[in-house]
């Protein structure tokens, strides 16, 4: 072992082997016998496929096994289509089965694949060669069994969705050795009908053997060279036939084909109310236009009638007289209004009226003066009361009433200091209810010394 050699983990090794298997064995066919079949609660199937020498583990998931149309059991010989993968946790390679059929159809399946590959190489499946459906489908040819469920389903859906589409049935065999030639014959016959817009070829579901007529080479070429567009509606959704691949359009079922061609009729049906409304509006416009023309012609004819012309002149004269009457009445009303204004102006200038006005003004001014004097008196009285209250609040008498006294010298000056008086002077002490006259015998200052 060299240092440059890569060292794998088991998981990385299994992952690379898984990728190699899945890339190189994408899809293969295998015919073998089922053994160890287990149906898990999840819906998946797990089993082995074996022959007399070997076996391989297989898994078929629920999404694929729901299309299996028979009951597989241990010991059943089957043909499966599968891809190869690897289950990493156990390192076991296994087949992931995509489809399963009884082993008896193996040869048919190989024949199908071979024809499919050859026709594809010839370009019969090329989309560029396919025709589109007509926009307006009026008449359809249906090539199928006259007694099968397919024709019943198609007619039932067309009757419900597109009753305007006319149907021509070309009954044919859809199973057995003579089915393929019969189908080709009916396709060619339908192409001779110049009134048809397209053809539906198909039948209901069945096994691969039942559907094999639609995998025949002759049917494929006849559909490819059809002048009319061909819709193939063979079997169920999971059934793919050569006819489906060659046809211009493939429908999953006969019912789906009927619904497909009904779409144009459904669209037209949905547009009918709008078209009807547009038609009604167009008719109404035409009627209105013609009515307008008729009215104009009647007017011109009436204008030429002498009797009506006389009536028109009389009507004109009546209108003029009426206008003159209204004019004179308006003029009279205007003059009357002017006269009333002049009378009011004259009355307003009369001395008696002026005197009354002045008296009224004088009375109003006297009332206003009286009101102003009363308001002024009230205001001054209020201010006087306020001043009295303030004076009483600051009056010395109020202070004396509280037990205080005031002292004055013999000149009536208020004494504030002992230095303002001398011994033997007469002083006056004012109390709340009178005065006391005293003679100074001694003075006492704050320092505590006395002076005679």
- For 232-241, the pLDDT digits (tens) are 999 888 778 9
pTM of the model: 0.44
Query: Which 3 state secondary structure label does DSSP give 424?
Result: coil
**DSSP one-letter string for 50-72:** E-SS-EEEEEE-HHHHTT--S--
Q: In which band, very low, low, confident or very high, does the pLDDT at 247 lie, cut at 50, 70 and 90? A: very high
Residue of 80 and 452 predicted with greater confidence:
80
Whether the pLDDT of residue 304 is over 60: the answer is yes
Helix axes 254-304, 306-348, angle to 10 degrees: 80
CA distance 138 to 158: 12
Q: In which band, very low, low, confident or very high, does the pLDDT at 452 lie, cut at 50, 70 and 90? A: very low
pLDDT digits (tens, 9 = 90+) for 140-184: 999 999 988 899 999 999 999 888 899 999 999 999 889 999 999
Rounded mean pLDDT, 64-89: 88
Q: Which CATH number fits domain 122-127+136-268: 3.40.50.150, 3.40.50.261, 3.40.1350.10, 3.40.50.620?
A: 3.40.50.261
Residue of 200 and 288 predicted with greater confidence:
200
Rounded mean pLDDT, 237-258: 90
CATH homologous superfamily of 10-105 equals Nucleic acid-binding proteins (2.40.50.140)
Distances (CA, A) of 143 to 151, 164, 192, 402: 9, 19, 14, 138
Q: In which band, very low, low, confident or very high, does the pLDDT at 451 lie, cut at 50, 70 and 90? A: very low
Listed range (84-98, 131-145, 360-374, 398-412) with the worst mean pLDDT: 398-412
Share of the chain above pLDDT 90, in %: 32
Distances (CA, A) of 239 to 63, 114, 206, 208, 426: 16, 17, 9, 8, 151
Mean residue pLDDT of the chain comes to 85
Whether the pLDDT of residue 205 is over 90: the answer is no
Whether the pLDDT of residue 298 is over 80: the answer is no
Rounded mean pLDDT, 428-450: 78
| pLDDT at position 447 | 64
């Amino acid at each position: 072992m060299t240092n440059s050699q890569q060292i794998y983990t088991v998981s990385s090794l299994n992952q690379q082997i898984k990728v190699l298997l899945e890339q190189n064995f994408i899809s293969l066919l295998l015919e073998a016998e089922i053994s160890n079949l287990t149906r898990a609660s999840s819906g998946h199937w797990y089993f082995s496929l074996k022959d007399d020498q070997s076996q391989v583990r297989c898994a078929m998931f629920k999404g694929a096994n729901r299309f299996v149309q028979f009951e597989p059991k241990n010991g059943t010989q089957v043909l499966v289509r599968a891809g190869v993968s690897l289950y990493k946790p156990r390192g076991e390679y296994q087949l992931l089965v995509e489809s399963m059929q009884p082993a008896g159809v193996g040869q048919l399946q190989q024949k199908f694949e071979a024809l499919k590959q050859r026709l594809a190489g010839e370009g019969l499946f090329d989309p560029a060669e396919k025709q589109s459906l007509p926009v307006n489908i009026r008449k359809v040819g249906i090539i199928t069994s006259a007694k099968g469920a397919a024709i019943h389903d198609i007619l039932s859906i067309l009757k419900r969705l597109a009753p305007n589409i006319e149907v021509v049935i070309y009954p044919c065999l859809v199973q057995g050795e003579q089915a393929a030639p019969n189908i080709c014959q009916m396709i060619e016959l339908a192409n001779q009908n110049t009134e048809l817009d397209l053809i539906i070829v198909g039948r209901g579901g069945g096994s691969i053997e039942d559907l094999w007529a639609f995998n025949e080479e002759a049917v494929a070429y006849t559909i490819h060279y059809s002048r009319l567009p061909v819709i193939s509606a063979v079997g169920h959704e999971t059934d793919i036939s050569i006819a489906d691949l060659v046809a211009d359009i493939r429908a999953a079922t006969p019912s789906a084909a009927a619904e497909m061609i009904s779409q144009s009729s459904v669209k037209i049906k949905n547009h009918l109310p709008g078209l009807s409304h547009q038609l009604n509006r167009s008719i109404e416009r035409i009627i209105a236009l013609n009515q307008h023309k008729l009215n104009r012609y009647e007017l011109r004819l009436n204008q030429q009638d002498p009797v009506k012309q006389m009536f028109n002149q009389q009507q004109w004269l009546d209108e003029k007289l009426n206008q003159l009457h209204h004019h004179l009445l308006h003029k009279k009303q205007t003059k009357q209004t002017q006269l009333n204004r002049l009378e009011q102006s004259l009355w307003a200038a009369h001395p008696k009226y002026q005197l009354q006005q002045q008296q009224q003004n004088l009375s109003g001014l006297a009332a206003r003066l009286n009101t102003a004097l009363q308001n002024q008196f009230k205001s001054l009285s209020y201010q006087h009361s306020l001043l009295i209250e303030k004076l009483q609040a600051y009056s010395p008498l109020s202070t004396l009433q509280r037990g205080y006294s005031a002292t004055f010298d013999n000149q009536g000056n208020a004494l504030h200091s002992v230095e303002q008086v001398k011994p033997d002077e007469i002083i006056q002490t004012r109390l709340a209810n009178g005065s006391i006259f005293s003679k100074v015998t001694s003075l006492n200052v704050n320092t505590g010394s006395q002076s005679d």
